[in-house]
Structure formats: C-alpha cells, structure tokens
C-alpha cells in the first residue's frame, strides 16, 4: 500500500514541478516596446497637441 502512495506523491510532485517551470518561463518572457516619442525627446506632449 505504501508503494501506491509513493507513486501518487511522485506524480503530484512531477505535475507541480512542471507547472512551476512553465510559470517561470512565462514570467521571464517580456516584450520590449519602443517609445513612440523616442525621437522627439524633450517635447512636452500638451504643447504638441495644441499646435
């Protein structure tokens, strides 16, 4: 009976481990978005809208 319990525990640990690895991979991914105003450095946006 102890063997069955260990097999269940192993399956649970394996599932939890793979889920943790997937979460880490997902959280490490990020997309760099370039600023649309990068070339217009120093311009105040409110003034640009009125002009």
pTM over 0.75: no
pLDDT of residue 47: 58
Q: How many CA atoms lie within 13 A of 4 on its CB side?
A: 1
pLDDT in tens, 1-51: 688 999 999 999 999 999 999 999 999 998 788 777 666 666 666 655 554
H helical segments located in the chain:
2-28, 45-50
List phi, psi (to 5°) of 31: -105, 130
């Amino acid at each position: 009976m102890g063997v069955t319990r260990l097999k269940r525990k192993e399956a649970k640990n394996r599932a939890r481990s793979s889920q943790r690895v997937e979460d880490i991979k997902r959280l490490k991914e990020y997309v760099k978005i370039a600023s649309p105003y990068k070339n217009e450095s120093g311009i105040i946006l409110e003034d640009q809208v009125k002009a």
